[in-house]
Amino acid sequence: MTVLTRWEPFREFATLQDRMNRLFRESFNDAGRDESLTTSTFAPAVDVYEDEHKVTLKIEVPGIDEKDIDVRVENNTLTVHGERKIEKEEKEENYRRVERQYGAFTRTFTLPTTVDTENVSASYDKGVLKIALPKKAEAEPKQIKVSVGSEKQGSEKQIEAKAPSKAA
């Protein structure tokens, strides 16, 4: 009995490509281990938390000099830009593995309208950038005079306008 199989001409090319990729990968790694030197984009980890007085961001940026960090607030957007530079050594080194990430990064955050963008502060300690975004003081309710009917009749009522209550 003869079994018919579908011929796929590109399958052999794909198999050849897989073998070539494996050959190159193994030739550059020690004893054929699947560990490659790769580069990736650098994006520091960020924690954001909020209480009744402020929003706080903590950004992990160890190894970055504070002069290489730029914090800006514009149009209710907080932008943090920085760069971790590769350390230059005088003696030649043949790196077998590089896991630390280097390069420039930019993180952008849309701020809630309750943030007072004029009083933002930032501090840097032990590799952590802390940004404090204080909230605006809530508007106090104020009395608004509302006229009813024609001004000649002189009948006026007072209606109190209240600030919206906070949602839980």
Per-residue model confidence (pLDDT) at position 143? 81
Dump pLDDT digits (tens) for 82-130. Answer: 998 877 665 666 767 777 788 889 999 999 888 999 999 999 999 999 9
Dump pLDDT digits (tens) for 57-69. Answer: 999 999 898 899 9
Dump pLDDT digits (tens) for 19-49. Answer: 888 777 766 654 444 333 344 467 899 999 9
- Fold that domain 46-86+97-134 belongs to in CATH: Immunoglobulin-like (2.60.40)
Alpha carbon distance, N-terminus to C-terminus of the chain: 75
Rounded CA-CA distance 129/122 in Å is 7
Per-residue model confidence (pLDDT) at position 20? 84
pTM for this entry: 0.57
Q: Where are the domains of the chain?
A: 46-86+97-134
Rounded CA-CA distance 162/139 in Å is 9
Rounded CA-CA distance 13/10 in Å is 5
